[in-house]
A and B are shown apart, each in its own frame.
Chain A
Amino acid sequence: MSETVYSAEVPYRGTYRLQRLRFGRGAPHLAVVAGQHGNELTAVYAVNLLASALRAQAPHGTVDLVPLANTFGVDEGRKLGPFDDQDLNQSFPGRADGTAMERVAHALLEATQAEVCVDVHAGSPLMEELPQVRMPLEGPETELGRAMGLPLVWRRPTRSQDGVELVGAWRLRGARALRVTGGQGATLDKQVGLEIANGIRRLMAHMGMSAAPRPGQLLGDVSDEDVHVLRCEAGGMFVPEVTVGERVSPGYLLGRIVAPVGGATIEEIRATHAGVVMSLRRYPMAHAQELLLRIACL
């Protein structure tokens, strides 16, 4: 079930191994990847929850899981790595005879030859994200993304540089590909992990691969123009007054920027639109113009 699809000798330490778990056989074929970034641990947890479910009940068709692509980054507790301080998710489509990281990217792309592919991430260590699926504005992915029943659907225009990321590389190959994220980097949120795992199980049910878990609760289905981004005018300490997933209305106090010395309020951050808090800054120190919140406008 577990197989090493790529390995590389490295100095001073053990061999780097890219491992894939395969469940079932035949069509349809789903591939799920997590842990391209070594500090997005809720994503790794979610895919391992999915592995547990698949061990208990084999799918109709084939499911390939790569729960942790960047093992060396995990060992060092950081996003990048393992080779030359490069970002794996900026190294696609990769090359079999390329740089060390390009070879890993190439192997990961080759190991996930499925008709539907999901790349699972978490928020950065600075931000907490509502569990969400990100997908193109239109096309076959929109139906698949909505079938996941995650709290938020975010439709985004495709960009020319998307091909350097795994999701873009999958699409260029003709697969239907989705990006899922939720929670906060460098932490583990079990509830978010469970929501993401259940979302992928709903996607499997939609593909006829398994029975469906209970339905999810959709809080927002938005495109970029529906996402209101709030930044601070001044630098300081951000003290939030809301939580991720909370519904807000215009004028609602979302948080304050306070002086790090003395604690005086420098700026109040208030909602200008009705919606749901989809992203919230968790690392409190912020420069002027840094991202504090995203509101999914309803």
Chain B
Amino acid sequence: MLAPCAAAGYSGEVEESQTSICRVELPTHNDVDVVRRRFTGTSGPHVAVLAGIRGDTPEGVRVLYEVTRLLRGLSDLAGTVDIYPCANPLAAYAGVHRWPFFEVDLNRRFPGRADGHPPDRVAWELVQQVAPADVVIELRGADRAFREVLQAHVREGVPRALDLATRANVEVVWVRRPGTMEPTTFAAQFETVMVLEGGAGNRLSEGVASELATGVMNVLATLQVVPEEAVPVHWATLERPRVVTDDHVLEFQCDHGGVFLPAVQAGATIAAGDLLGTVVEPLGATEIARCCAPGAGRVLALREQPSVHTGSLLARLLIDP
């Protein structure tokens, strides 16, 4: 365990501590800790913010670095904010999607097992630690093959999560029905939860972290955990996002295997019939297919890793009603 430590230099009642919630003993005894950084003030809501469930989402880790530094500057805080800066430290160190050695996707192991292998034990402990929170925010980067606009995902039927997500400084709030894999994700374990993501897979993109950090702080201000002045940008200047459901989002797939050459950018506004990209056969230098927008709308996510198969996702499109 890392020793809890009171942070120095605060003029007010905000206390900062760092705790190892789970220690993973490695074969060489070079142990790894999953860390929680807790900011505690007067009574108020309990918010948990977590990043780095997968090791190829450094953007989320950077967001929490910025949020932590913003919280450190506060003299007043009404509630408790738990920051889990990196849930999967070994994968983050290696910059890979899955937990090394066991080769498992941590975000398919929840709620975990108390007597399982290390990834399952970490999943279990995270759920136990985060469960008391009133609001849970998960930070991700983009899917590893894609560039995505700033967006929040919330579960259908949770109006409080939707209301808070609209304050998260994102362009789109996507209200999602449960998918087939959903029960084993971290986010599925909690009621009032939002997932924030954007940028590009496994790298940092200019501006993304500061925008999402502003969003997290604005959610905390909405909950009155932090004062409005703590938000780097005044809330009145933040754009209200477009709220969409699964019915608005089209998963645009590839009908052919090949190399996808995009013709638009993530976030672009498109008209029906606009060229989104072409699928080519690179060895013979032939064009296999032209991929055109089926309707007017916006590019929510666009593939940047170009190798595709029949059925590969090329883009997520917001189609206008």
Contacts and interface: CB of A to CB of B under 8 A. Distances in A.
A141 to B, nearest CB: 31
Contacts of B27: 74-75
B93 to A, nearest CB: 4
Contacts, number: 41
A13 B32 contact: yes
Contact of B30 (A11, A75, A78): A75
A77 interface: yes
A42 interface: no
Contacts of A77: 100-101
Interface stretch (B84-92, B214-222, B287-295): B84-92
A78 B90 CA distance: 14
A112 interface: no
A11 B28 contact: no
Interface in B86-115: 86, 89-90, 92-94, 100-101
A68 interface: yes
Interface residues of A, number: 16
A72 B86 contact: no
Contacts of B94: 76
Interface string A1-36: 000000000111111110000000000000000000
A71 B100 CA distance: 14
Interface of chain B, main secondary structure: loop
B28 A71 contact: yes
A14 B27 CA distance: 13
B101 A13 contact: no
Contact of A76 (B31, B86, B89, B101): B101
Interface in B49-104: 86, 89-90, 92-94, 100-101
B30 A12 contact: no
Contacts of B31: 14
Interface in B220-252: none
A14 B92 contact: no
Interface of A: 10-17, 68, 71-72, 74-78
20 contacts: A11-B92, A12-B92, A13-B30, A13-B89, A13-B90, A13-B93, A14-B31, A15-B30, A16-B30, A17-B30, A68-B28, A72-B28, A74-B27, A74-B28, A75-B27, A75-B28, A75-B30, A75-B90, A76-B94, A76-B101
